[in-house]
């Protein structure tokens, strides 16, 4: 799993300051778990909100998508192909989502994301995703997208 997780991280089409995946801890044909630790100096905290920084919902959604959809999709593609067949040019297209925000989170939080596959066919991945901080649910919902190479 460690080799597979590092391969996924290498293939993600993001970089700082827009990379929101620190670790992939579990991956199989039906689910993925990963995490991202919110840094104290994240760019989006400037002015959001004065005196009480809160991670914006759009960033929570992006964290959920990068771990629960894109990382998962790359992992599923890796499982289906050999190293010789796998093209490193990954193009994720986020097609739909419905996310319910339950709690807020701020600087220093370790966000954990778990995604369970609803289906994956013809490059289209649909998942149920939950985002937590410890035992507290931050957001949950459904996401879909197309992972092409």
Annotated catalytic residue 48: yes
In angstroms, the Cα distances linking 60 to 20, 85, 127 are 9, 33, 16
DSSP string, 110-129: EEEEEEEEEEEETTEEEEEE
Catalytic annotation, pick one of 31, 48, 98, 133: 48
By annotation, the residues acting in catalysis are 48
């Amino acid at each position: 799993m460690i080799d597979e997780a590092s391969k996924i991280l290498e293939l993600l089409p993001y970089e700082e300051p827009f990379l929101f995946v620190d670790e992939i801890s579990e991956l199989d044909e039906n689910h993925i778990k990963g995490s991202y630790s919110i840094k104290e100096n994240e760019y989006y905290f400037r002015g959001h909100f004065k005196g009480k920084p809160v991670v914006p919902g759009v960033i929570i959604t992006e964290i959920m998508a990068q771990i629960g959809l894109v990382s998962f999709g790359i992992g599923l593609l890796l499982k289906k192909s050999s190293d010789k067949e796998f093209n490193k040019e990954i193009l994720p297209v986020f097609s739909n989502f419905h996310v319910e925000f339950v709690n807020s989170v701020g600087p220093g939080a370790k966000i954990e994301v778990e995604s369970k596959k609803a289906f994956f066919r013809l490059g289209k991945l649909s998942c149920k995703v939950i985002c937590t901080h410890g035992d507290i649910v931050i957001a949950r919902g459904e996401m879909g997208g197309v992972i092409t190479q």
